[in-house]
Amino acid sequence: MKKLLNTLYVTTEGARLRKEGENIVAEVDDTERGRVPLHMLGAVVVFGAIAISPPLVGALARAGITLVLLDRQGRFEARVEGPVSGNVLLRRAQYRASEQPDEIVRSIVTAKIANQRVVLQRALRDHGAEMSADHRTAVESTIDRMERILRRIAFTNEGADAMRGAEGEAANGYFAVFDSLLRSPDPDIRFNGRSRRPPRDPVNALLSFLYTLLTHDCRSAAECVGLDPAVGFLHRDRPGRPSLALDLMEEFRPVLADRLALSLINRRQLRSGDFETRDGGAVLLTEAGRKTVLTAWQERKKEERRHPFLDEMAPYGLVPYLQAQLLARHLRGDLDAYPPWFWR
Amino acid sequence: MTPAADLDDPLPISALQHAVYCLRQAALIHIERVWAENRFTAEGRVLHDVAHEAGSRKSRGARRVTALQLASLRLNISGIADVVEFHRGPDGETAFPIEYKRGKPKLHRADEVQLCAQALCLEEMTARPVPEGALFYGETKRRLIVPFDAELRRLTEDTVRAFGALVASGRTPPAVWKASRCRSCSLIELCRPQAMAKSALDFRRRALVAALAPEAAANGSSP
Ligand code: SF4
């Protein structure tokens, strides 16, 4: 199986990265802080003001190691990619399929809603007893509502637009009860509905940060199998938007991001001190908070589970790649549908 | 190595060994290019290591040409021969292609077909018969003489035609699981012959039915 390569995250502002032999060397104030052989890396992600030497940028591109520049808060800024090895026939098939996206959208949306629903079911099973009766009832009725939405789109021939609507409806219900899944005694760590630009509470700050990491992995996965990350099925084309990466990501969001966010908060690995509020009310992770999240993220990616369609064990971190590969095989005509990733 | 391009683009001789082994493998490598990079760099390096086989033939006065560009207009194939020896005879030089392979001699005829394709090119280029050549295997350090008999020539020409049709269609043939062949196929992780035999629609239907079953929540295992 393809090796799960590491991602090097550099978060220390003022750090300098340079190439020495076949290694990346990280320096802070002219002192070496770390050294990683290039062949162990799949990507380098840097946050904020970090200097990168031109020879290193070239070496990364040649070795097929993606370099991603994010701002201090983790918002995407730029990406350096070597020559694209893309497969023109696959891309043509992708573009053709994007004109008739219904069945691929059905796979993505049903798996996303099913996975969100399992997140709620698990929370209820594991901690339902500690929830207030009101909260428990709310979560239960959301699970039922999501089941109805799933039935409506899973076995019918609803078109892509109707499924986009259903997806939004399910997401509203899901996020409406998400706060009930938080078990931190800290009154500041709450979720007040999804807010994106900017996140307005710690949980939104955490979710946004995890979604950024996941987008990056999904985009790399798409590129790795030769798909065009900009042309999606569920997400419509928009200049600069990695629509396919966002599509791939939908199935994983509830499991790889939402559940990780819940466990970081509920296990009190993140506390209110790991967040800061800026003027204007934007809430962001502190540098220490980001480190905690990145470490947990890397650990989670190593955990193995049985892949439902391939029926073999695979680490979570490889699942975006495997799904991109299965999508490519569907587009090339090997599979009669895109088999999405159902989490059990 | 242009995949699925104009029909006038000659087919790469090096692809024929994959086409003999499995047409899907050839399509994945040469049409979809899913694996081209690793494979070819690895092979290139091996080639370099062994292309200096002791020149015992030199003592017999053979002229040795490395990395010779070959082509056949009739078959529309082209490629580069590792080594071609030109053996002097009473009525001129006879070409003798030698191909270097890592590993050891195989049960299937992929390497012989590749070599025979080179011979067919050499015959067309020199307008003289090329009756035999040799495969040199890195693992056994053995030189295996390959006579280009009628059967091998037919297999080679059939393979060229089948692969040419594949490239022209741009399609990748479906995966067919055959244990003896797939188990030792270096593309198995990308090809996934067993998973590709399943119906993803059935899978999706079953997974959704399971997800909607009332007991689904209670029986799941914790991550
Ligand atoms: S795994 Fe089997 S079917 Fe797939 S390319 Fe290899 S030999 Fe062909």
Share of chain A above pLDDT 90, in %: 38
Examine residue A198 and say whether the peptide bond preceding it is cis (omega within 30 degrees of 0): yes
Question: Are the CB atoms for A174 and A135 separated by under 8 Å?
Answer: no
> C-alpha distances in angstroms, A214 versus A190, A260, A282, A331?
22, 12, 21, 23
Write the pLDDT tens digit of every residue in A41-71.
878 888 888 899 999 999 988 887 888 888 8
- What is the structure's pLDDT at B36? 44
Which of B200, B81, B204, B179 is CA-nearest to residue A154? B204
Average pLDDT for residues A180-195, to the nearest whole number? 78
Take residue B76 and report the two structure tokens written for it.
């529309």
Q: How high is the pLDDT of residue B189?
A: 81
Q: CA nearest B210 in A: which residue? A: A344
Which residue out of B187, B189, B190, B194 has the highest number of ligand 1 atoms within 8 Å of its CB and is therefore the one to mutate?
A: B187
- Identity of the residue numbered A26: A
Q: How confident is the model at residue A3 (pLDDT cuts 50, 70, 90)?
A: low
Name residues of chain B where pLDDT drops below 70: 1-8, 35-60, 215-223
Binned at pLDDT 50, 70 and 90, residue A89 comes out as confident
Determine the pLDDT at residue A233: 93
- Write down the pLDDT at residue A85: 60
Q: For residue A53, what pLDDT is reported?
A: 93
Paired tokens of A103: 């069945």
pLDDT score recorded for residue B42: 43
For ligand 1, residues with CB inside 6 Å are B 22, 24-25, 28, 175-176, 181-182, 185, 187-188, 191, 193
Residue A247 pLDDT exceeds 60:
yes
pLDDT score, position A236: 82
Computed over every residue of chain A, the mean pLDDT equals 87
What tokens appear for B22 in the block? 């499995």
Give the model's confidence band at A185: pLDDT under 50 very low, under 70 low, under 90 confident, else very high: confident
Q: What are residue A125's phi and psi, to 5 degrees?
A: -65, -45
- Going by CA atoms, what residue is nearest to atom 3 of ligand 1? B175
* Nearest Cα to Cα of residue B51 among B73, B30, B66, B69: B66
- The owner of tokens 């979570």 is A316
Could you say which of B3, B203, B208 has the minimum Cβ distance to residue A114? B208
Give A 9-68 residues with CB within 8 A of chain B: none
Q: Exposed, middle or buried, A340 (CB in 10 Å: 0-12/13-18/19+)?
A: buried
Chain A: residue whose CA lies nearest to B222: A122
Q: Residue B53 has what pLDDT?
A: 46
pLDDT digits (tens, 9 = 90+) for B57-69: 454 678 889 889 9
C-alpha to C-alpha distances, A128 to A72, A176, A325, nearest whole angstrom: 37, 17, 38
**E strands along chain A, which residues?**
6-10, 16-20, 23-28, 31-37, 41-47, 51-52, 66-70, 76-80, 275-277, 283-285, 304-306, 313-315
Q: pLDDT band for A84, please (50, 70, 90 cuts).
A: low
pLDDT for position B41: 41
Ligand 1, atom 5, residue with closest C-alpha:
B25
Q: Determine the pLDDT at residue B51.
A: 53
ipTM value for the complex:
0.81
pTM (2 decimals)? 0.81
